[in-house]
Amino acid sequence: MARIKLAQSCKTLFLTGAILLGLVATGHRAHAEDIRTTVVAGGCFWCVESDFESVPGVIEVVSGFAGGNVANPTYRQVVRGGTGHLEVVEITYDADQVAYGDLLHLFLRSVDVTDDGGQFCDRGHSYSTAIFVETDDERAAAEAAIAAAEAELGQDVVTPIRDAAPFYAAEEYHQDYYRSDELVLTRFGPRRKSDAYGLYRQGCGRDARITQLWGEDAPFVGMH
């Protein structure tokens, strides 16, 4: 009888443990389903990374390349041309805190959506804008965001919606450039990357053009 009771107790403990593990695993899966990624191209990826890492609900932003025909391209290859890639960022975000449509709203108002030849002082295909989508729902959200931007501007938005493509992270040198204390040599002499970034952003006219285009709806102007 004692053995039977012991066996039953062990079985009960086993089942209880299994249920608890199952609940933990389910909780982890549910949470993981709310952590999503999206890829957008908005010209200089340093700037887009800087902008979106300030958004509540965004977990990480990685600078990189997408949309081309060369695997694992280098920065030099992309800016030289011929790979087909755009400078992009991959945004990882918590969909419980920030909606996909809200990210697109912010993105479209952080770039010049009327310019299909590059962005600001950076010219050429690799600096053009795009929204990369993976699902029909994302495509519908992107179409709605673009329609809203066109209605607000009273102009056509030339930023295209593109099918999702492999994302390749840029070299470590480019990650978090806007806040790095590492010294680099610039035309102004040695500067911290963060200082060099500020000089570049101002000199390129990014915020000035976005303010001209979007006015008070420009979400990131004045934050840098």
Instruction: Give the pLDDT confidence of 180-214 residue by residue, as tens digits.
Output: 999 999 988 999 999 999 999 999 999 999 999 99
pLDDT digits (tens, 9 = 90+) for 126-143: 999 999 999 999 999 999
Name the stretches of the chain with pLDDT < 50.
Answer: 1-30
pLDDT at 120: 98
Q: What is the DSSP letter of 183?
A: E
What CA–CA distances, in Å, run from 170 to 24, 67, 77, 141, 176?
35, 14, 11, 27, 11
Residues 24/32, Cβ–Cβ less than 8 Å:
no
Residues designated as active site:
44
pLDDT at 187: 87
Distance CA 9, CA 4 (A): 9
Contacts 24+ apart (CB under 8 A), 6-15: none
Task: Give the pair of three-digit tokens for residue 141.
Answer: 């959200």
Contacts 24+ apart (CB under 8 A), 141-147: 141/100, 141/101, 141/104, 142/104, 144/101, 145/101, 145/104, 145/105, 145/108, 146/108, 146/113
pLDDT at 224: 64
Residues 142/99, Cβ–Cβ less than 8 Å:
no
Q: For the whole prediction, is pTM greater than 0.95?
A: no
pLDDT at 12: 44
